[in-house]
Amino acid sequence: GKSFLGTPYVGGTLEVGEQEQLVIELQGLDCTTFMENVLVFSRLAKKENLDFTSFQKELEYLRYRDGQMESYSSRLHYFTEWISINEKKGFVKDITAEIGGEPYNKQINFMSTHRSSYKQLASDEYYKDIQEIEGKLNQDKRYYIPKAKLASLESGIQSGDLVTITTTIKGLDVSHVGMAYRKNGRVHMLHASTRSKMVEITSVPLADYLQKSKSQSGIIVCRLQEAS
């Protein structure tokens, strides 16, 4: 992850073209593509297999619901679904509840209620797909650590854990994602920052960083699993 420090932040890197395609971008990253690239590179390094074809296959398996790119709606758009699906695939384990998290009860419907913000949702087929996905997500149990409790619970977080920032924005589950980075005994975040417009490590601990934004409500924490 630190090898990407200073890489420019570029928003919306996956929203290209009219047809869904497997976007591979290393020169300009948003928070999701930064995290996915780090995870894929880490897994391939463990396997001692860093050829491009392996990278491509691993990224596709990670990014899409059934591990295969089929259409716009086959991509994991909501990050809580990304966590759930990739936990089943063995990429990550959601450890939020076991380190002190509490229920995160929130209705998820941001994409369907902001249809005009997503050009692909002009398609009735994709729109119905997203509505169905949201319905399933709203049946899942989720946990988070409220930002007011993070400082007292951060001892359970390790460097390299996936840190997902929850949000108060109506209908949306997660607004940002990065990697935990322990520094001077505190948890900071290694991430592609919309504030500094590059990949960075937060200058202040994550608990303090979250206090700067009214819309950031807390975090979900996942531990990366060993590549098999």
Strand partners, 93: 223
| pLDDT-based confidence at residue 147 (cuts at 50, 70, 90) | very high
| pLDDT-based confidence at residue 15 (cuts at 50, 70, 90) | confident
Q: What is the pLDDT of residue 228?
A: 63
SS3 call for 44: helix
Using a pLDDT cut of 70, give the percent of the chain over it.
Answer: 99
In this prediction, residues 26-48 reach a mean pLDDT of 93
Q: Which of 222, 225, 219 is nearest to 205 (CA)?
A: 219
* Sole residue written with tokens 């391939």: 44
Q: How far apart are CA 81 and CA 139, in angstroms?
A: 11
In this prediction, residues 129-155 reach a mean pLDDT of 97
* Sole residue written with tokens 């592609």: 192
pLDDT(18) > 80: no
Q: What is the pLDDT of residue 145?
A: 98
Q: Whats the size of the chain, residue-wise?
A: 228
Q: Which of 202, 76, 98 is nearest to 145 (CA)?
A: 98
pLDDT(49) > 90: no
103-134 CB burial, b ≥16 within 10 A, e <16: ebebebbbbbeeeeebebbeeeebbebbeebb
pLDDT(129) > 90: yes
Higher pLDDT among residues 50 and 172, named by residue: 172
> In 3-state terms, the chain is what percent helix, strand and coil (to 5)?
40, 20, 40
pTM across the whole model: 0.94
Structure tokens at 147: 């930002």
Q: Is 132 left (phi over 0), alpha (psi -120 to 50) or beta?
A: alpha
Radius of gyration of the chain (CA): 17
Strand partners, 201: 190
Higher pLDDT among residues 177 and 14, named by residue: 177
| pLDDT-based confidence at residue 14 (cuts at 50, 70, 90) | confident
Q: Is 51 exposed, middle or buried (0-12, 13-18, 19+ CB in 10 A)?
A: exposed
Structure tokens at 67: 């591990």
Q: Which of 174, 33, 149 is nearest to 94 (CA)?
A: 174
* Helix boundaries (H) for the chain: 31-47, 52-63, 79-88, 110-113, 124-137, 147-153, 206-211
In this prediction, residues 122-145 reach a mean pLDDT of 96
